[in-house]
Amino acid sequence: MIIDHGAPLSGSAGKVLWHTTMSLDGFIAAPGDGLDWAFRHPGPNPLRAEIIRTTGAVLVGRRSYDVGQRAERPEMRKVYGGAWTGAEFVLTHRAPPPNPSVTFLAGDIRGAVETALGAANGKHLVLIGADVARQSLAAGLVDEIAVHIVPVLLGDGVRFFSCPGGSPVDLMTLSVTRSGELTNVRYRVGRETGPGGGRGVS
């Protein structure tokens, strides 16, 4: 069943984070939704661990959800490989197969983000999927972007961010760290600039 959003929830102190793993040339998936490249450098990653610990809900695009559902790699079948528990929402226009551990949402992006952030109970909401994140940015709903840069050039695939004709989105660098082969970058979305300007939560 797809449910429509109710009234917006408010009063949450959590942030909206777009958290992803990206190739150096700006792709989050290889052609055919391939993600093997993203798992080539396992090992402890403090930024990832912190986000898992502080996140209360995720909002996943239907395409990312479907990729996870049909994945052979066990670490792709659950959010954060099963290392995370919380409220999982999937945004879709299509009737999904039943899944009692997921709430399927339909409707505008603002309602979906507000519903999911409310369910995070004061913790953060993580966006999963470039399309869902792009819509959220355009609506001014994203507070931070956290990216693990993988040292690989994919040349093709699903772009991290694509918005032809869009305006620049200004970011402020919060941290740059290294975990083994991965470079972790974390940005705050500009308060006054870009499409919508971010929520400006500090």
130 is an interface residue for ligand NAP by CB under 6 A: yes
**164 contact partners, CB below 8 Å, separation of at least 6:** none
Instruction: Give me the least distance between CB of 110 and ligand NAP, in Å please.
Output: 9
Give the C-alpha separation, 10 to 169, whole Å: 25
125 neighbors 58 (Cβ within 8 angstroms): yes
14 is an interface residue for ligand NAP by CB under 6 A: no
125 is an interface residue for ligand NAP by CB under 6 A: no
Give the C-alpha separation, 98 to 19, whole Å: 26
93 is an interface residue for ligand NAP by CB under 6 A: yes
Closest to ligand NAP by CB, 29 or 120: 29
91 is an interface residue for ligand NAP by CB under 6 A: yes
Give the C-alpha separation, 153 to 150, whole Å: 9
Find the binder of ligand NAP among 12, 15, 16, 38 (CB under 6 A): 38
* 166 DSSP 8-state letter: P
Binding characters for ligand NAP, 103-122, by CB under 6 A (x = yes): ---x--x-------------
29 is an interface residue for ligand NAP by CB under 6 A: yes
Give the C-alpha separation, 167 to 38, whole Å: 29
- Mark the segment that binds ligand NAP (CB under 6 A) among 48-56, 131-139, 181-189, 191-199: 131-139
173 neighbors 185 (Cβ within 8 angstroms): yes
21 is an interface residue for ligand NAP by CB under 6 A: yes
CA atoms within a 13 Å half-sphere pointing along the CA-CB vector of 134: 14
Of residues 149 through 188, those in contact with ligand NAP by CB under 6 A are: 158
46 neighbors 177 (Cβ within 8 angstroms): yes
Residues in contact with ligand NAP by CB under 6 A are 20-21, 28-29, 33, 35, 38, 61-64, 67, 91-94, 106, 109, 128-132, 135, 158
